[in-house]
């Protein structure tokens, strides 16, 4: 915004609302961050009923040279608007595949799956399938261990094209999970046509289910829907044993949340698995 002041024109007036200022700082900083490789992936365990680690979700962090670690909630939405989510998403994909390739070399880690978040804009790219296959092939990551997390907004594009891309990747062994399920625009009509493997119960329902019957009923409905469609179901944002029990009672047997582990650097995740240290 151009603001006319006594000294002429200036671009960043001190009266500029804090949020707008932060936004343009992040916008400019992201371009540098991509050039200078300031991103890192953290890994949050996904577990079964017995707490056995089935895999992880990769969650990006920005290691800002001055501000320290910045969470994706502050920069992913901005990157989605200014187009930088494409190079950022590609960086995430490659970093995740390198990690998978590394795990594949260790018989104690080779079973792990890695879930990677994919934005609507990424999925919309005409060459999305080629990009994923290139990352897998060139890193040597096993496609069977890669799970792509889509949100309902990612599916709000031409559905035939989405289905086609998903099927092409599934032929290579890649699987798909529907993230934040129940919070966005869902059509049960297309849900049925998508070649999904998993529904992810959003943490808002998990955290609400002991307080309000609505959340509990929605969680129950998602489990039944998944069963009916032959999909697995995973609950995220599980923080307490009571929440885990409530989910188990409703037929959910895969979990992710602070109860089992926060998102952590790769080395820490591997130590947790190998039981050393
Ligand atoms: P999400 O995909 O729904 O990821 C789950 C978020 O919940 C993560 O936040 C995670 O740290 C947090 N979380 C996990 N367990 C718990 C819990 O028990 N309690 C609570 N309160 N929170 C929990 P994070 O890492 O800050 O990521 C926020 C969002 O940023 C993600 O939400 C996702 O939408 C986006 N994001 C993160 N990494 C990527 C990425 O590589 N690509 C894209 N496109 N988006 C990403
Ligand atoms: Ca996710
Ligand atoms: Ca989620
Ligand atoms: Ca979420």
What interface predicted TM-score (ipTM) does this complex get? 0.97
Could you tell me the distance, in angstroms and rounded to a whole number, from the CA of residue 59 to the centre of ligand 1?
A: 6
- Please report the pLDDT score of residue 276 as a whole number: 61
Closest atom of ligand 1 to 256 CA is 15
Q: How does 82-110 read in b/e, with b if 16+ C-beta sit within 10 Å?
A: eebbbebbbbbbbbbbbbbbebbeeeebe
Ligand 1 shell residues, CB under 6 Å:
44, 59-60, 71-73, 76, 89, 92, 117, 119, 179-180, 203, 236-239, 257-258, 263
pLDDT in tens, 71-85: 999 999 999 999 999
- Please report the pLDDT score of residue 161 as a whole number: 95
The pLDDT > 90 percentage for the chain reads 81
- Please report the pLDDT score of residue 3 as a whole number: 46
pLDDT exceeds cutoff 50 at 162: yes
pLDDT exceeds cutoff 50 at 2: no
Q: How does 202-237 read in b/e, with b if 16+ C-beta sit within 10 Å?
A: bbebbbbbeeeeebbebbbebbebbeeeebbbbbbb
pLDDT exceeds cutoff 50 at 4: no
The pLDDT > 70 percentage for the chain reads 93
- Please report the pLDDT score of residue 53 as a whole number: 97
pLDDT exceeds cutoff 80 at 181: yes
* Torsion angle, alpha carbons of 72, 77, 83, 87, to 10: 20
Q: How far apart are CA 213 and CA 58, in angstroms?
A: 31
Among 19-33, 67-81, 112-126, 158-172, the least confident range: 19-33
Closest-CA residue, ligand 1 atom 15, reads 257
Closest atom of ligand 1 to 200 CA is 3
- Please report the pLDDT score of residue 21 as a whole number: 78
Could you tell me the distance, in angstroms and rounded to a whole number, from the CA of residue 12 to the centre of ligand 2?
A: 35
Residues 6+ apart with CB under 8 A from 263: 42, 43, 44, 57, 59, 61
pLDDT exceeds cutoff 60 at 180: yes
pLDDT exceeds cutoff 60 at 11: no
pLDDT exceeds cutoff 90 at 36: yes
- Please report the pLDDT score of residue 22 as a whole number: 79
pLDDT exceeds cutoff 80 at 9: no
- Please report the pLDDT score of residue 14 as a whole number: 60
Q: How far apart are CA 97 and CA 119, in angstroms?
A: 17
* Reported confidence tier of residue 184, pLDDT bands at 50, 70, 90: confident
Could you tell me the distance, in angstroms and rounded to a whole number, from the CA of residue 180 to the centre of ligand 4?
A: 5
């Amino acid at each position: 915004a151009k603001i006319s002041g006594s000294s002429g024109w200036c671009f960043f007036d001190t009266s500029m609302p804090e949020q707008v200022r932060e936004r343009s700082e992040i916008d400019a900083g992201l371009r540098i961050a991509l050039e200078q490789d300031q991103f890192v992936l953290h890994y949050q365990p996904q577990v079964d009923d017995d707490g056995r680690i089935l895999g992880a979700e990769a969650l990006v962090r920005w290691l800002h040279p001055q501000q320290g670690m910045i969470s994706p909630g502050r920069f992913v939405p901005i990157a989605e608007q200014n187009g930088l989510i494409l190079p950022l998403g590609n960086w995430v994909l490659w970093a995740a595949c390198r990690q998978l390739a590394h795990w594949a070399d260790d018989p104690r880690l080779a079973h792990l799956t890695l879930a990677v978040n994919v934005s609507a804009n990424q999925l919309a790219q005409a060459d999305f399938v080629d990009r994923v296959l290139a990352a897998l092939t060139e890193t040597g990551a096993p496609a069977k261990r890669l799970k792509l997390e889509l949100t309902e907004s990612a599916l709000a594009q031409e559905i035939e094209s989405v289905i086609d891309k998903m099927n092409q990747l599934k032929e290579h062994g890649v699987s798909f999970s529907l993230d934040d399920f129940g919070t966005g625009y869902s059509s049960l009509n297309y849900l049925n046509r998508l070649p999904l493997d998993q529904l992810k119960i959003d943490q808002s329902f998990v955290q609400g289910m002991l307080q309000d019957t609505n959340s509990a009923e929605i969680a129950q409905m998602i489990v039944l829907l998944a069963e009916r469609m032959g999909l697995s179901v995973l609950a995220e944002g599980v923080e307490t044993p009571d929440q885990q029990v409530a989910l188990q009672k409703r037929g959910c047997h895969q979990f992710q949340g602070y109860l089992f582990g926060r998102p952590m650097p790769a080395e820490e995740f591997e130590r947790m698995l190998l039981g050393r240290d």
